[in-house]
Amino acid sequence: MKTYIIDAFTTEAFKGNPAGVCIVENDISVETMQSIAGELNLSETAFIRKSENNENDYSIRYFTPTVPIDFCGHATLASAKVILHQIGNSTVNFTTFHNLKISAKSAGENIKMNFHLYETVNYFPNEDLYLALGITNPIATKYAEKMDMVVIEVANKDILLSVKPNFVNLANTSKSYKAVIVTAKSEDSKYDFYSRCFCSWIGIDEDPVTGSSHSVLAKYWSTILNKKEMIAFQASKRGGSMQLKIISDNELEVLSDAKIVFEGQLNLKSK
C-alpha cells in the first residue's frame, strides 16, 4: 500500500501537523486501518480510495492511533497534497465515512479547500476543565455542538502560550470532548488570531495544527473582528498557518500547503 507522511499547514519539513496518507486499492478491514494508524503513530492517518466512476472522487477515512474520527482537516489537506501535487489531478472531491463532502483544488503552490463552517453558543463547563488547563480568567467560553469542541478565549497571546495543561486531569474531566481550543486575538499585523488545540480525550494531548478547529474559530473570530477573510496561526511547538475566507453562513475556504517528507510502500503481507 502506497503510504506517505506529510506535514500539513506548512511549507517546511518538520513543521505544521504530520499526517499519514494511505492509498487503498483493495478492501481492508477497519481493524487493519486502525492497526496501521497505530503503527504510524501520527495524530491522524487518512485512508483514501479512488472512486470507480470518477478519477476526481475519493472516499476518505480518518484514524488517530487509538480511535476512528469523523473528520480531520490536516489529514484532508495532506491527502489533497498527494492527489493534486503527486498524482496530478486538478481537483479532488472527498466523501467521508459519515458522508461529509469536502473539495480541494490547486491554487498555485498552495491548496484551496472548502470546509463546513460551524456555529458556537455560550457554554459553562465544569470547573475541572479550567483547572486542568490552568486557565483562571477566560474572556469567553463557547461550544460547537456539531463538532463537540469547546472554544476558550483568553486575553492575549502571552497567556495562550503560557497554558500548560495537566493532560492526565484533562483526559479525566467530568465531561469529555473531541477537542478544547484556546484562542486569543492577535496584537500584530501578521495574523488575525492565534490558537492551540488540546485533544486528550482521543489520545492527542496537543494537536500541532488543526484544520477542523478553524471550521469553528473562523465564524467565532469573524463575528468579533467583523472580517470575512483572516489569517490564523496555531501556536503549537511545530506551528502552522492558514488563510481563511468565509464564503457563506455554512462554508469556509481554507488556503494553505503541505510538505511531503516520506513516501514508501507499506507491506501488509503476512510473510
The pLDDT tens digits for 16-33 are 999 999 999 999 999 999
CA-CA distance, 179 to 173, in Å (whole number)? 12
Q: Which residue is catalytic, options 12, 25, 39, 44?
A: 44
pLDDT for 203: 83
- Give residue-wise pLDDT tens across range 43-70: 899 999 999 999 999 999 999 998 999 9
Question: Average per-residue pLDDT in the chain?
Answer: 96
State pTM to two decimals: 0.91
Contact at 8 Å (CB) between 9 and 241?
Answer: yes
- For residue 123, which phi and psi values (nearest 5 degrees)? -145, 145
**Residue corresponding to grid cell 506535514:** 7
Quick one: cell of 80?
489533497
- Clarify whether 52 is annotated catalytic: no
H/E stretch holding 112: strand 110-116
What's the count of helices (H) and strands (E) in the chain, helices before strands?
Answer: 6, 18
Q: Is the predicted pLDDT of residue 270 greater than 70, yes or no?
A: no
pLDDT of 269 reads 76
Cα–Cα dist 78/71, whole Å: 13
The Cα 55–Cα 127 span in angstroms is 50
In the chain the first and final C-alpha atoms are separated, in Å, by 15
CA–CA gap between residue 173 and residue 9 (Å, rounded) = 30
Residue 78 above 80 pLDDT?
Answer: yes
The cell numbers describing 254, all together, are: 481554507
